[in-house]
Amino acid sequence: MADDTLINTLAGIVRSGAPLILAATGETFTERAGVVNLSLDGSLMLAGLAGFVIAFNTQSLILGTAAAIVVGATIALIVAASSIELKQSQVAVGFILTLLCRDLAIFLGTSYRGKAGLPAPHLDIPLLRDIPIAGPILFQQDVFTYLSFAVIIFAWFWIYRTRPGLILRSVGERPPTTFARGGNVNRLRYLYTALGGALVGLAGATYTLNIAPGWNDSAIIGNGWIALAIVIFGGWYPVRVAFGVYLVAGLRTLASGLQANGIPIALLNAIPWLLMIVTLLAVSGPYLDRLLKILPSRLHPLVRTLLRARPPAALGTIFEQEGQK
Amino acid sequence: MDVVRRSDNRFTGLIRLAVTLGPALLIVVVALALILLAINKDPVTAVLQFIDGALGTDQRRSDVLMIALPVLLCSSGLLLTFTAGLWNIGIEGQVAMGAIFATGIARLVTVNTSSWLAIPAELALAMLGGALWALLAALLKTRGNVNEIFGGVALNFIAGNILLFLLNGPWQAGNYPQTAPFEAPALLPRLTPSLSLSLPALAIAATGFLAVFFILRGTHWGLQLRAMGRNARSAFMLGVRTERNMLLSMALCGMLAGLAGALLVISPISRGKLVPNISGGLGFLGVLVVLLVNVLPTWVPFVALFFAIIPIGTLKLQNLGIDPSLGNVFQSALVLAVLLANGFRTRLSRTSRES
């Protein structure tokens, strides 16, 4: 029976990690194209609210999810357009949108507090569900969780195994090169920012339609920032990002277990944020280089792959395309 | 990192502000009116109630002024950090730490303590608390290479949880998560019994703002900060001690944020005790103020005052069944609209120059 508890816990971690996977992978796409969409904490909430309200009023999960995706993509496009067309700082616009979307969600959501949601149905995958251990953890889940798996695989494949993925990486690293080779830098930036925003919107819907069906702003708040930090911790690699998400989800489950032991909840709630600072220090601080000096050189490539985080070189910059000022 | 484009000339700055603020304000008011219509509320009644709620009586006008003071302190501090090219998003946590440190003294004050001893001690501790919390974010940036936005956000949540821990544990008085009300000598005095107006609070905020104004406009160090904000690397090449200046500007901003936190627990408009979520978005409001004025110090007090009207005015909207959070929507929407209008204006002038 102890095995069952462990398997249930792991399945719970995978399920609760789904929205963070979707949001962080979406932001990875966006940032790989050189755009920072800092609005995640607010857009998760507004998209989540839109998803819940539409699903509640139409009794359709699909329409609700679609609404959330549209909201997420629209917010992301505001960031892209104000950077590309209006030359405004992505950080400034993103930060203001964080506050605006959050407050708008809280304002518009007041009448939807406490209304019962419609949870996404469980959907076991035949054959795969019967694999011992992995079956119950991975394949006896719901649609949103399966989507999160698909997104990890798709992101890795797209970025590293396809030609458009190669171009995407070059847009984020050296936009002039992309332009010289005939790529339309700003159009690609619009495209990937919208894609990233759509995934963030889907993540918002995952909160209000799956993780905790219903509208509860305090269940979402803060997660956008965690997702943004995980993108850095993941070094802009989709698979490492996914690893970071499950690490965070696992530690949260562990922390909620500790709560029973009488440790004040306020201190436990501070742990993820302490962890965020520590991991950011580990991947971007000077400590990695010091660690590499101590370790034998055979281990260097492994440690670098696991811990090195170098942002795309053109992240947050504005690309002035010739002939189109 | 390039924070926002600044205009050096004060006069063109004023014209730009007027040209962009007008249309932006119009768009936001129309958008909010449409939202109100969509939820079956009458926008005209709402606006009239809002204005009456904010400015209808002497008490309300005095409340607006007193709310503006912590906003002004936060914005003043942020003027320094933004000028130096730093995004001090951690200001919320610095305000909370100021409030916590001030409370550390205020809850020890008895009826017999002298105000002349208690209040300076509270203010000094609040400045210390805010500065330490800001230095933490600054050191994470300069020594640990952690972006100040992420370090700041994490420190905000940590400060909020420390506050909750204190209020649910060692400092709790009664059944609710809050401290006992402070004794009178711990609180800033009112000018008259009926109004919340407090001259010492006014003096503290004015001093903070004028000090920042003088630093930015009249000192060599202010010039160094501006050089750093424009291009940190070339400033460093020219001999500016960028790391020291970053730490110093963050610490000064933290001090002012800490003072704002102290006002939130001991000024007449405060509840005279420490409660959860003490900052309540006030630090972020400071960020919005500074972004709205494009980091131009002259306009900060006016915008702070304008933004302070909103939380007071929206309280009255509850009578109409409108949630006061609409006020927050208005503030951030306005700043976004101004930024975008700025972008449109530059784009238009660029196209007209070319044609």
Q: How far apart are CA B188 and CA B171, in angstroms?
A: 21
> Is A3's pLDDT higher than 80?
no
* Chain B touched by A5 (CB under 8 Å): no
pLDDT in the model for residue B12: 67
B172 CB-side CA count, 13 A: 12
User: Residue B10: what pLDDT?
Assistant: 57
Tens digit of each residue's pLDDT (9 = 90 or more) over A195-227: 999 999 999 999 999 888 889 888 899 999 999
In 3D space, the residue among B269, B277, B281 whose CA is nearest the CA of residue B100 turns out to be B277
ipTM (interface pTM): 0.92
What is the model's pLDDT at position B40? 85
Is A266 part of the contact surface with chain B (CB cutoff 8 Å)? yes
Percent of chain A with pLDDT over 90: 58
Residue B151 forms contact with A (CB below 8 Å): yes
- Residue B201: pLDDT over 90: yes
SS3 call for B25: helix
Model confidence at B2: pLDDT above 60: no
Instruction: Give the closest-approach CA distance of B24 to chain A in angstroms.
Output: 15
pLDDT at B3 over 60: no
Token digits of residue A311: 């942002």
Chains A–B, number of C-beta pairs less than 8 Å apart? 139
Decide if B350 and A325 are in contact by the 8 Å CB cutoff.
yes
- Angle (CA) A33 A280 A99, round 5°: 65
User: What distance in Å separates residue A134's CA from the closest CA in chain B?
Assistant: 34
Comparison of pLDDT for B58 and A140, the residue scoring more = B58
User: Per residue in A228-258, pLDDT tens?
Assistant: 999 999 999 999 999 999 999 998 888 877 7
Closest CB to B329: pick one of A93, A104, A285: A104
Query: A252: which chain B residues are within 8 Å (Cβ-Cβ)?
Result: none
User: Considering only CB atoms, which chain A residues are within 8 Å of B354?
Assistant: 325
Calculate how close chain B gets to A244, using CA atoms only, in Å: 16
Question: Which span out of A107-116, B91-100, B178-187 was modeled with the highest average pLDDT?
Answer: B91-100
pLDDT of amino acid A122: 76
Q: Which of A86, A71, A89 is nearest to A194 (CA)?
A: A71
Residues above pLDDT 90, as percent of chain B: 68
pLDDT band at B71 (very low <50, low <70, confident <90, very high): very high
Chain B, nearest residue to A272 by Cα: B154
Rounded CA-CA distance B295/A92 in Å is 12
Is B119's pLDDT higher than 90?
A: yes
For B323-355, the pLDDT digits (tens) are 888 999 999 999 999 999 988 888 888 777 766
Give chain A's length.
325
pLDDT > 70 fraction of chain B, expressed in percent and rounded: 95
Q: CA of B113 to nearest chain A CA: how many angstroms apart? A: 33
Which chain A residues are within 8 Å of B151, Cβ to Cβ?
A: 277, 280
Interface of B with A in 308-337 (CB under 8 A): 323, 325-326, 328-329, 332-333, 335-336
CA distance, residue A135 to nearest chain B CA (Å): 36
- Best of A86, A97, A233, A269 to substitute, by most chain B Cβ atoms within 10 angstroms, is A86
B198/B209 Cα distance (integer angstroms): 17
Classify the phi-psi angles of B178: left when phi > 0, otherwise alpha if psi is within -120 to 50, otherwise beta. Answer: beta
The CA distances from residue B124 to A3, A179, A255, B120, B163, in Å, are 56, 56, 36, 6, 19
Mean pLDDT estimate for chain B: 90
Mean pLDDT, residues A46-72 taken together:
95
Instruction: Name, of A194-203, A310-319, B19-28, B273-282, the range with top average pLDDT.
Output: A194-203
pLDDT tens per residue, range A86-98: 999 999 999 999 9
